[in-house]
Amino acid sequence: MPEFPEVHRQVVWLRERVTGGVIEDHGHFGGHFPEMKADPDRKTKLDEFFRGATLSSVTQRGKHIVMASPPGRSPRT
């Protein structure tokens, strides 16, 4: 597990390079959305959520990197 200073360096590096970028593809399979585990349309919903989204910010919460897109996108719709 990286320590706080290492994560902070990664956040600064990513922020300079990806803020404003558009997501073309992803490797997320819904682990943070437990209610989607049994959903047969999970892959389609996640593709619609991630692809084409603009990264509006890169921030840090403790040892976690948080990449945000503008409000209004939801994989649950």
User: Stretch 42-67: mean pLDDT, rounded?
Assistant: 92
Indicate whether 9 belongs to any domain.
yes
Is residue 33 domain-resident? yes
CATH of the domain at 46: 3.20.190.10
pTM for the model: 0.75
- CA distances in angstroms from 16 to 24, 43, 52, 63, 70, listed in the order given: 18, 30, 20, 19, 18
* Boundaries of domain holding 53: 4-68
Domain-embedded: residue 74:
no
Between 17-21, 33-37, 55-59, 71-75, the lowest mean confidence (pLDDT) is in: 71-75
Q: What is the mean pLDDT of the chain?
A: 88
State how many domains the chain has: 1
In a domain, 28, yes or no: yes
Per the CB < 8 A criterion, the answer to whether 19 and 56 are in contact is yes
- In a domain? residue 76: no
**Does residue 52 surpass a pLDDT of 50?**
yes
Cβ atoms of 28 and 41 within 8 Å: the answer is no
Residue bearing tokens 């399979």: 29
